[in-house]
Amino acid sequence: MRIAHVGIDDTDSNYLGMCTTYIGALVDERLKGLGYAGIGEPRLIRLNPAYPMKTRGNGAVHLRYYIHDRRDASRLFEEVENIVARYATLKDPKTDPGVVLLVRDDQYPPQELEGFYLSALRGTVDLSAALRILMNLGGMAAWFKGGRGVIGAMAAIGAPEGSSTVYELLAYRSAGLGKGPRNVDEESVRLADLETWPMTYDNYDWYYMEPLVAPRGPDPVLLGIRGPDRGAVLRGYDLIKVDCRVERLLIYRTNHGSGSHVLDLESISELKPYTTVRLEGRVSKRPIMGSGSHVFFELEDSRGFRIRVAAYEPTKHFRLIAMGLEPGDRVRITGSFRPHDPDPPTVNLERLEVLELAQLTGVSAPRCPKCGHRMESEGSGKGYRCPKCGHRDRSLRPMEVRIPRKITLGEFVPPPRAHRHLTKPPEASIWEGRPSCSVEE
């Protein structure tokens, strides 16, 4: 027996609906119905969140089945192609589906594709490079229109097994139901969160009292629950009440919450467009709140290179932390970099670590040497007078005082409603058994 690795991507549209994970579920049911036994868990692999051509969460799927021979593989491939042709939103000019099939001796993601996955996760790759690699591996590809989806489909197959340790249960309503809120009972989402957190996460935004499990777009996803423990994810789902028919359900293993999309850079001069980076430096310009209530400040690294950093409006109270920064503060920022023409190049913050706070000083009138009361200035160069005991002194000078800072040292992340799929959530420190240093204020 051999293993057929199937990758699928780019089947959906922001305005016409559909979802690659839903097509993955249809494919899985169809193939199993035809007698193909699955092996391993279905995987939903998120790729570069800063890639500009993505529809939403830049996700692709990887499915695996036992096959007998090449003929069997071709039959399976044809089935997958037919389902994608039938359900993908081909009418959207931006939808360019791709399907990839690799036949291997085992279920494990081919090591030869690991580098390709990492490039698609952290940078930008082109289709011709993808096709060359696929040909060398003896794989098959089918594409519709531009076929850009082949990139994501290959990257999903190449994501190492250990890259995906979080489960996402996805429940679907019928495709084509249009956009708008799903009929999910809010109280039950709160209960499910209380009961299963931290082994499920981002179910509910307690800061803004808003359920996060259900999307609002025209796609067939009714709700999704994620966490590192399959049992907790299932328990969470059991607790959530929905007032509509659940058409189907699939649990994917994903690279969500891994933080693996982030590149560590030594200097701002190494920034490349459409990457997510982690950088250290000092705040060089005081934060301002601009139009749209976005907050901007400037960061300077140890080599003197500077970059604009933004905490955008959707990050809500996280912006207050950014606003509390002062020139001289040492920080480590994590965020996606966009050239932003005609705006200045900007890093869009998704995490902020405050490492060192600059000491802020100001001046104040001195204390009265006789009674200790705060004195008042008599005018420029005319000394001070105590309003309590009347003592006057022309020789006294203003005192230097320390101004208390509005923020503390620590690691800050936006509220759950603004989390990206790949962003490491504060709960990850609990899963990993290390003391939590993520604080949100």
Query: Strand 248-254 to strand 43-46: parallel, antiparallel, or no bridges (unpaired)?
Result: parallel
d(CA 419, CA 413): 8
Structural tokens at position 413: 């992340």
Q: Which is nearer to ligand ATP, 130 or 357 (CB)?
A: 130
Q: Which is nearer to ligand ATP, 48 or 276 (CB)?
A: 48
Among 54, 104, 230, 417, binds ligand ATP (CB under 6 A): 54
336 lies in the site for ligand ATP, by CB under 6 A: no
The residues in 247-306 that bind ligand ATP, with binding defined as CB under 6 A, are: none
| Nearest residue to ligand ATP, by Cβ distance, number only | 152
48 lies in the site for ligand ATP, by CB under 6 A: yes
| Upper half-sphere CA count for residue 217 (Cβ side, 13 Å) | 14
Among 5, 17, 20, 411, binds ligand ATP (CB under 6 A): 20
d(CA 269, CA 279): 11
Q: Which is nearer to ligand ATP, 11 or 334 (CB)?
A: 11
d(CA 229, CA 199): 6
12 lies in the site for ligand ATP, by CB under 6 A: yes
56 lies in the site for ligand ATP, by CB under 6 A: yes
Q: Which is nearer to ligand ATP, 146 or 324 (CB)?
A: 146
Closest CA to 169 of 187, 196, 142: 196
CB 269 within 8 A of CB 281: no
Among 6, 83, 125, 170, binds ligand ATP (CB under 6 A): 125
The residues in 65-124 that bind ligand ATP, with binding defined as CB under 6 A, are: 96, 120, 124
Using the contact rule CB under 6 A, the part of the chain among 145-153, 162-170, 202-210, 301-309 near ligand ATP is 145-153
383 lies in the site for ligand ATP, by CB under 6 A: no
DSSP per-residue letters across 383-428 = -EE-TTT--EESS--PEEEEEPPSS-SEEE---GGG--TTSPPTTH
Query: Strand 376-377 to strand 360-364: parallel, antiparallel, or no bridges (unpaired)?
Result: unpaired
What are the residues binding ligand ATP (CB under 6 A)? 9-10, 12, 19-20, 47-48, 51, 53-59, 96, 120, 124-125, 148-149, 151-152
